[in-house]
Amino acid sequence: MSGDRDAVVLDPNRAVKWVASDAHKALHPEIVLGFHDLCIVKPVNDDDWYIGSLYDDGSIDCWTAYDDLYEALRGL
């Protein structure tokens, strides 16, 4: 759906934060899909898919969420 042929599945063992509100909260990823410097995260026990920035140290700051993977891929 994204059209990115270089997309990769990334190790979910990394620091992920939801930063779209003043109260930053940690997300515990089950699935992480990398798209260069962006990624999509599916947290454990959460039906939403989050888009965020992937940093050189492997951490992710997510700023938007979608109800399903299809919409998240279109949101890239």
pLDDT of residue 26: 95
pLDDT of residue 7: 82
23 close to 67: Cβ distance less than 8 angstroms? no
Query: What are the domain boundaries of the chain?
Result: 8-75
Using CA atoms, how far apart are residues 22 and 42, in angstroms rounded to an integer? 21
pLDDT values of the chain reduced to their tens digit, one per residue, 76 residues: 555 577 899 999 999 999 998 888 999 999 999 998 999 999 999 999 999 999 999 999 999 999 999 999 998 8
48 close to 65: Cβ distance less than 8 angstroms? yes
